[in-house]
Structure 1
Amino acid sequence: MSSYSSYSRVIHHATSILCSHKGSMDLAQLHRKVFQRFDISDEDFWYIVKKCPRFAVVVRNEQTAETGEAGCTIVAKTSLRLCKNYAKQECSGCQDLHLCKYFVYGNCRYGKGRKECRFSHNIQSEHNSPLLRECTLHELHEEDLFLLLLQNDPSLLPEVCSHYNKGSGLFGACTFKERCTKVHICQHFVQDDCIFGAKCKRLHSVDEYSRRMLEERGLSSDIILDLPYLYQNVYHLNSHGLDRERIASLSERPLSQAEEKSEICIHFIRRNCRFQEQCKRVHFNLPYKWEVYEGDGWRDLRGMEEIERAYCDPKNAHSPGSKPVDFLSMTRVSDPVRRLSTASSVTKPAHYILTTQWLWYYKGDHENWIEYGRPDDKQRVTSVTSRDLEEAFLTDNTAEVTVIKGNRHYFISFQDMYQRNPKHNTKRRVRRRPRFVSISEVESKVAQSSSPHKHPSTYAY
């Protein structure tokens, strides 16, 4: 391939995927996502990620879950920055974006129906549009562009406090303590090499003091939640040069690995799978299975029912316990976690039991989560239901769906899981979670399905 410019659509799509996954992603995962839409060879994909300035290739020392070899993380890059002189109203023309910093932070108190902000909230303005086009970022969602800026523009995020990472005690050697204007977080966690995990004395998330400081700087709660991952990306972008020899050796192996079994066999749960060990699906006694990758393979997580119960509640970002599962990043400490399940209920006839019923929620006005198709606190109902969204999602998991509630139109983006109001430029988080099924409910349904009077096609593959 002579130039990656002919693959601009692939580059744009890969950038969108990275931004919707907190700015970085395992190489093999990114390849699979891109391959779902574009028929692109391994050779061309490698050429793009190695040569395109949009991507930074970070070689990891730890083994990957798929190959048992050292792997790569791809981090999204951009040379674009916010203009420092624009806020001082001293810039007459430059190659940096003219945007309100607090708009990028997602928390500008102006421009939401009250007093108009004196700084631009328009990424497609006469000044900004040519810059975005030049960097082929003009089709990127606002939120994706802002994440890209946050992890690339050093002026937007405060530094990690080096003094906190020295000494002992709650604030380390930081003499400013709770008044510190830098973030108190474990530097080794940021560098992705903390050996202590959950037992580390340093923070691996943003505490109340740093949160208060960040909120005073104008950062939204969504960005603060993702901040530990953004700092990891910033570190990788600043500190990891390309290891040419190791990347070359990695690029020689196929990216299109054989797909692992990922769907649980509903017939095995009912004890009547006729394929037995030749079955293409996972044999397990529940319609869900939680696993953690611990360096040499996937292992079952203990307390699976309690993890599932927590996951099914859309308000939860973590499972209970001393080593909780992070449902947003699907990790436990720093180990990858995955959830296997039976087929989605919308893909099977209604009489099939123990399929997975996925429910779709949007965040309400009072930190509550409302299922699509159900009335909110003002008895307003959306035009689409969980089933409608699930069918659309399985058809195209990068699509946008129009939703009407009352007199307002919204757009749901599956790619970044937000519902947007285009008129007021506001957004709400969207979550897809399964309906909870207890072990006792599974046992009861299995017993009922053993009745000789059941519909015969229930047992057909």
Structure 2
Amino acid sequence: MTDYFAIIRIATSILCSNKGSMEISELHRRVLQVQNVSEADLWYTVCKCARFTVAQSTPRANDGESDCIIVAKTSLRICKKYSKNECDECKDLHLCKFYVFWNCRYGKGRKECNFSHDIHSQHNFPLLRECRLHELNEDGLFLLLLQNDPSLLPEVCIHYSKGTGVFGDCTFKERCSKLHLCLHFVQGRCKFGSQCKRLHSITKHSRSLLEERGIIGEIINDLPYIYQNAYRLNPQAFDGGTSAPSCVQVQTVPQTEENEICLHFLRHRCKFNDQCSCVHFNLPYKWEVFDGTYWRDLTNQEEIEQAYCDPRNELSPGSQPVNFVSMSRFFDPVRRLSTASSVCKPKHYILTTEWLWYYKGDRENWIEYGVPDDKNRVTSVTSTELERAFQMNSTSEVTVSKGKRHYYISFRDMYQRNPKHNTKRRVRRRPRFVSMKEVEAKAAQ
């Protein structure tokens, strides 16, 4: 039986010890040295798990083909308020930023640093354990933070790569506080290679800029790779007003015809029968568990579905519960197949899946977007509007307001963030429950 949590742990460790990313074929070869896992199982794991992002590499010169790049990802960040002694408890790591750079002057002398150098502190360890990063060593964790936390590194100057001058269109020139690095190189699509007039490496001037921020040594040498990974994880931050190339994408095993339940079969009207590209099932949802070889139906489909539709639940009932957060049952991965989202089909289509969006309230309750909370305040967007945005781009951010406050909803991390106070609330996307009796009644219409 495949231990998927072990695969995640091993793959994360390998990626973080190899500059944060690796081609899938090479990653599979390296994982095999530690644990026996098929290429299909590894591919499923990196696509399904939020720990990884899948991007496409630049085509090879000799054959024009490319392989998928797997990038290590985390939603953990270094707490900005902690360094100002303004934070007691939060969901971000309490660490000395210069220790992450391996350059804290207090850590090298007799005087102790005022900020934590302990990744396993009483505050940090539960956060790492929740993200299953508690077994990762310091080198791996710090690299993971560098390529995921945009506050740790200077921005890449988007004006430097425009225009024809030595400094492009950058008006600050050598006084620019941002890094001068070829933006097309960072994006993995510079066609000039070593002949490019823009920088593909860290110069003496850039090194001075980085050292002023406390970044030294091997981290500087690895920065071009770190910036490339940061772009793969968040291309919008580097685009400078241009859209991201289609080759860079986050893979979360999107619903396709191969794992989408056939709407016509539910109404007993599918003319393709066994040749249909969709899944034939008698419900608009289907819960399956992977036994190491095949996906097998779970029993008590309706009971599991009803529990899942309630955003308060993280586990299904019974002696062998499904964990809705990790989508697993013990160590076996679980998946939920469904019909197409209701926002993707005309209104006359029945038995589509209506997805509802919730945020966590002040009283540990879950409140649907567009529905009044206990103080009769309503968000500016509804579940339907969020679902449409999610279907268009499942990795984007959406702005939402409630009263005079404004928030950002990250589909990638499923958090609602208050930019003013830098606080976060969890967000959940759950379907509206449809019982077997309702399915039979609607199918008979």
What aligned pairs does 1:140-159 form with structure 2 within 5 A after superposition?
155-157=118-120
List per-residue Cα deviations over 1:145-195 (Å, max 9, x = no partner).
xxxxxxxx993126xxxxxxxxxxxxxxxxxxxxxxxxxxxxxxxxxxxxx
1:112-158 CA-to-partner distances (Å, cap 9, x unmatched) read 9xxxxxx99997xxx799x59x9xxxxxxxxxxxxxxxxxx993126
Could you tell me the TM-score, scaled by structure 2's length?
A: 0.53
Report if the CA contact (8 A) 2:257-2:277 is conserved: no
Residue 226 in structure 1 maps to residue 199 in structure 2:
no
Return closer, same or farther for 1:404/1:310 CA change in 2, 3 Å cut-off. same
The CA deviation at 1:295 is: 1.5
Counterpart of 2:385? 388
Determine if contact 1:63/1:70 at 8 Å carries over to the other structure: no
Q: What whole-Å deviation, never above 9, does each CA across 1:250-277 have from its counterpart, x for those lacking one?
A: xxxxx9x9x8821000110110001111
Secondary structure of 1:343's partner?
coil
2 CA distance for matches of 1:234 and 1:122? 16
Contact conserved, 1:358 with 1:434, CA < 8 A, in 2?
A: yes
What one-letter code is carried by the residue in structure 1 that aligns with 2:343? V
Aligned to 2:351: 354
Superposed displacement of residue 363, structure 1: 0.3
After superposition, give the CA deviation of every residue in 1:263-322 in whole Å (9 maximum; x if it has no partner). Answer: 000110110001111111000000000000001200000111111111101111111111
1:157/1:376 Cα in 2 relative to 1: closer, same or farther (>3 Å)? same
Q: Is the 8 A contact 1:62 1:69 kept in 2?
A: no
User: After superposition, where does 1:38-187 map in structure 2 within 5 Å?
Assistant: 46-47=22-23, 58-59=31-32, 61-64=35-38, 66=40, 76=72, 100=82, 108-109=87-88, 155-157=118-120
Contact conserved, 1:361 with 1:430, CA < 8 A, in 2? Answer: yes
Shift in alpha-carbon separation, 1:230–1:375, aligned structure 2, 3 A: same
| 1:415-453 per-position Cα deviation (integer Å, ceiling 9, x unaligned) | 000000000110100000000111111111112x2xxxx
Structure 2: gaps (5+ residues)? 12-20, 47-51, 53-69, 104-115, 142-250
- Amino acid in the other structure paired with 1:100: Y
| Distance of aligned partners of 1:300 and 1:236 in 2 relative to their CA distance in 1, 3 Å threshold | farther
Tell me whether 1:310 sits opposite 2:307 in the alignment: yes
Partner of residue 318 from structure 2, selected from 297, 317, 321: 321
Equivalenced residues, count: 284
Output one character per residue of 1:216-242: Cα deviation in whole Å (capped at 9) or x when no partner: x33597x37715x2235569979xxxx
The RMSD of aligned alpha carbons is 4.9
Determine the C-alpha separation between the residues in 1 that align with 2:363 and 2:385: 25
5 Å-filtered alignment, 1:148-297, equals 155-157=118-120, 217-218=122-123, 223=127, 226=130, 229-231=132-134, 233=136, 261-297=258-294
**Percent identity (aligned):** 53
Take 1:296 and 1:430, find their aligned partners in 2: how far apart are those partners? 33
Q: Deviation at 1:49?
A: 8.8
Would you say the 8 A contact 1:102–1:218 is kept in 2? no
Q: Distance in 2 between matches of 1:111 and 1:429?
A: 13
Question: Could you tell me which amino acid in structure 2 is paired with residue 297 of structure 1?
Answer: Y
Partner of 2:35, secondary structure, is strand
Q: Distance in 2 between matches of 1:220 and 1:69?
A: 29
Q: Determine if contact 1:317/1:327 at 8 Å carries over to the other structure.
A: yes
Deviation at 1:398, TM superposition (A): 0.7
